[in-house]
Chain A
Amino acid sequence: MTRPGDKDVEVHLFGPGYGESVLVHLGFNEWLIVDSCVARGSRVAAPTAYLESIGIDPSTAVKVIVASHWHDDHVRGLSEVVRKCKSAEFWCSSALLEREFLVLMTAVTKRPMTRAGSGVDEFRDVIEELRARAAGQRVAGIGLHFAESDKLIWQRQTPADHVAVVHSLSPSDAERLLSMQAIAGLVKGLSERRPQGRIPPIRPNNTAVALHVRIGGARLLLGADLEEIGKPPWRDCGWTAVVASPRRPSAKSTLFKVAHHGSETAHCEPVWTDMLESKPLAILTPFKNGSVSLPTEADAMRLRERAGDVFMTTRHATRRAKPANPVVAREFGLTARAVWQAAAMGHVRASIPEGEARTEWRVATLNGATRL
């Protein structure tokens, strides 16, 4: 692994381990990080660890951090990313800094002795990092911003042949309202004398921040976990709203970080026809949570039909757990029907070296990454 040249375009996708993260070289050693993940048996955030491994200082090189949403499978290590990338702006849905979410976050993280987090805990640590930045500074200095549909969030206008522009495509106004309603519902639940427990994820995910990135002639669509419902009350939400927006960047992308691990719930046919070039490169991470395992075989088939090539960071999100202690291993088998642990974190690197045709991606599959 070596650091890219000034005009080399690189997109790195890490996952699972725990989480998913995209790292993009915007050119001239300026970087974008979307979400975070950590390797199995590690608490080190993958995107910053990778930058450090190739001799890049994240504190100056990373310009933008985007928290696409607060679910546990996208934010592990994000507070470390925010802490290390001192000069980066931090972007997330405004719903995550509304009073209701902060009440929920504070109430939940004050509970005693609950170790199994829900993503709220990691986001609490992110907020603490931002508060530390804010201490003694003017508000404008802490670099906290809200992503929403059709919003320019970062750009570099020079040199003219290698401009870099990052737009957020979501959440829409309707999604922000719905997510605030959902969060308020969770807070209301706290005061209804229910026994304490883990905060469930909000479905559908109305806080997801999808991005369109242009770097020189390369265009990327980073889908986060943005879902597609397409029926009331979600008509103005999800991919339907993104595709329909007249203000979004119109240029089609040649690389798609597939939304929501390839799930049917995130599939929207017009995305493939209106926002992506024919047969784009598709990259994704797998996901497993209880009985839900993504992508399914049907999802994989659908992606193969539409993409020119599809790469995944690891074939499966989990594998059977193998405890070192044989007694524990035997009891796992006797007490549980199945026990899984996260698969090792894989790494897909897609790149366009300087001077090459701008739609030809070179793909490297690292640490167990594979073609789907």
Chain B
Amino acid sequence: MTASALPRAEWQQMTVPAGTVSRPVEGGSPTTKGDGAEITFAKKSVERGQAPGSTILREGARNLVPAVVVLPVHAAPKQKFIPLSRREGVVLEVRQDEFDARLVDLDDDEDDLDATFAIEELSPDDVPLLRPGAVFYWTIGYLDDQVRRRTRVSDLRFRRLPYEDVTGLTDAEAAADQIRRELGLAD
């Protein structure tokens, strides 16, 4: 049976008939397991079409003991964000093509700022959220991608807040009554 004859989901592990051995792939070393051999392919490799299917299996040297080849799974490098400035903004005023906002440093290192942004700087999905009082985040930093390529990022992203919780409002009313009682403003 060749790897290519298997459903894709089974490509990660298969038994090699006795008497053959596969080429160690990606640093895997052959090991013996009974009269057959197991080969584990990196799923990433399979998906990229790099799985050693029948070709690899045919490369086995004859007259060697059956072997198990375990191919290490290499996790793809993850992208990494290195923040340099993180601010929460609140929209103060919206005009035809720009808006003003108050910016608070989320790391508490810097003073509050006021800024004016062009509306065209926003993602199309964020534009409907633009109104006085709306909350957004402005993040500046470096993004190192999977191939360790660094990009400078300045990202404006509006916060998708839930609607007011009516239960919360009831709680607020109870708290207000409690405050007034404690301050002697109500019975």
A interface residues with partner B (beta carbon < 8 Å): 18, 40-41, 97, 99, 102-107, 110-111, 113-116, 118, 127, 130-131, 134-135, 139, 142, 144, 187, 190-200, 288-291, 318, 321, 323, 325, 327-328, 331-332, 334-342
Given A110, A139, A198, A331, which contacts B140 in the complex, CB threshold below 8 Å? Answer: A331
Asked if B166 and A198 sit within 8 Å, CB to CB, the answer is no
A contact residues around B138 at 8 Å (CB): 335
Cβ–Cβ contact A328 & B182, under 8 A: no
B163 contacts across to A, CB distance below 8 A:
193-196
The proximity string for B residues 87-128 relative to A, scoring 1 for CB distances below 8 Å and 0 otherwise, is 011111101001010111010001111111110010000000
Which of B17-25, B41-49, B56-64, B154-162 contacts the other chain?
B154-162
Q: How far is the CB of B87 from chain A (nearest CB, A)?
A: 9
Residues in B neighbouring A102, C-beta threshold 8 A: 175-176, 179-180
Known: A103-B172, A337-B117. A116 touches B111 (CB 8 A): no
Question: In the assembled complex, how far is the CB of residue A361 from the closest CB belonging to chain B, in whole angstroms?
Answer: 33
Q: Which residues of B contact A336 (CB under 8 A)?
A: 115-117, 121
CB-CB under 8 A from A291, the residues of chain B are 93, 95, 100, 116
- Which of the residues A197, A288, A340 comes within 8 Å of B90, measured between beta carbons? A197
The answer to whether the Cβ of B10 comes within 8 Å of any Cβ in the partner chain is no
A318 CB to nearest chain B CB (Å): 6
Q: Could you list some 8 contacts between A and B, CB below 8 A?
A: A106-B175, A134-B182, A142-B183, A191-B166, A198-B133, A318-B114, A327-B84, A342-B111
Considering the chains assembled together, what is the distance between the CA atoms of A329 and B163 in angstroms? Answer: 35
CB of B135, distance to nearest CB on chain A (Å): 6
* Number of B positions contacting A (CB below 8 A): 57
Binding site for A on B (CB under 8 A): 84-85, 88-93, 95, 98, 100, 102-104, 106, 110-118, 121, 129, 131-135, 138, 140, 152, 154, 156, 160-164, 166, 168-169, 171-173, 175-177, 179-180, 182-186
Are A106 and B172 interface neighbours, CB within 8 A? yes
Task: Evaluate contact between B113 and A331: CB separation under 8 angstroms.
Answer: no
Contacts of B169 in A (CB 8 A): 103, 107, 187, 190-191
Question: Chain B residues near A105 (CB, 8 Å)?
Answer: 176
Q: Closest residue of chain A to B129, judged by CB?
A: A195
Contact among B85, B106, B176 with A106 in the assembled complex (CB-CB below 8 Å)? B176
B84, B114, B134, B176: the one contacting A325 at CB < 8 Å is: B84
CB distance B132 to A200 under 8 Å? yes
Query: Given A199-B133, A327-B152: A139 and B183 within 8 A (CB)?
Result: yes
A337 near B129 with CB under 8 A, answer no
- Tell me whether A116 and B156 are in contact (CB under 8 A): no
Q: A327 to B132, alpha carbons, bound, how many Å?
A: 29
Q: Contacts of A194 on B, CB cut-off 8 Å?
A: 163-164
A358 to B110 CA separation, bound complex (whole angstroms): 44
Evaluate contact between B162 and A116: CB separation under 8 angstroms.
Answer: no
* A112 vs B134: C-alpha distance when bound (angstroms): 14
Contact assessment for A341 and B113 in the assembled complex, using a CB-CB cutoff below 8 Å: yes
Min CB distance B132 to A, Å, is: 6
Report whether A115 and B104 are in contact in the complex, using a CB–CB cutoff of 8 Å.
Answer: yes
Q: Are A339 and B100 in contact (CB under 8 A)?
A: no
Cα of A318 to Cα of B100 in the assembled complex, Å: 14
Question: How distant is B146 from chain A, measured CB to nearest CB, in Å?
Answer: 22
Across-interface contacts of B168 in A (CB, < 8 A): 107, 110
Cα of A194 to Cα of B166 in the assembled complex, Å: 11
Please indicate the chain A residues that have their CB under 8 angstroms from the CB of B135 in the complex.
114, 116, 196-198
How far does the alpha carbon of A325 sit from the alpha carbon of B175 in the complex, in Å? 44
Q: Which residue on A lies nearest to B175, using beta carbons?
A: A106
Q: How far is the CA of A96 from the CA of B171 in the complex (A)?
A: 19
A323 contact set on B, CB distance < 8 A: 85, 110
- Contact call B129/A198, Cβ cutoff below 8 A: no
Q: Which residues of B contact A18 (CB under 8 A)?
A: 112
Are A110 and B172 CB-contacts (below 8 A) given A198-B135, A336-B117? yes
Inter-subunit contact A339/B90 (CB<8 Å): no
B110–A339 touching, CB < 8 Å: no
How distant is B178 from chain A, measured CB to nearest CB, in Å?
A: 9
Is the pair A197, B131 in contact by a Cβ cutoff of 8 Å?
yes
Do residues B180 and A97 form an inter-chain contact, with CB atoms below 8 A?
A: yes
8 more contacts with CB within 8 A, not counting A194-B164, A341-B112, are A97-B180, A115-B88, A127-B183, A196-B161, A197-B135, A318-B114, A331-B154, A339-B114
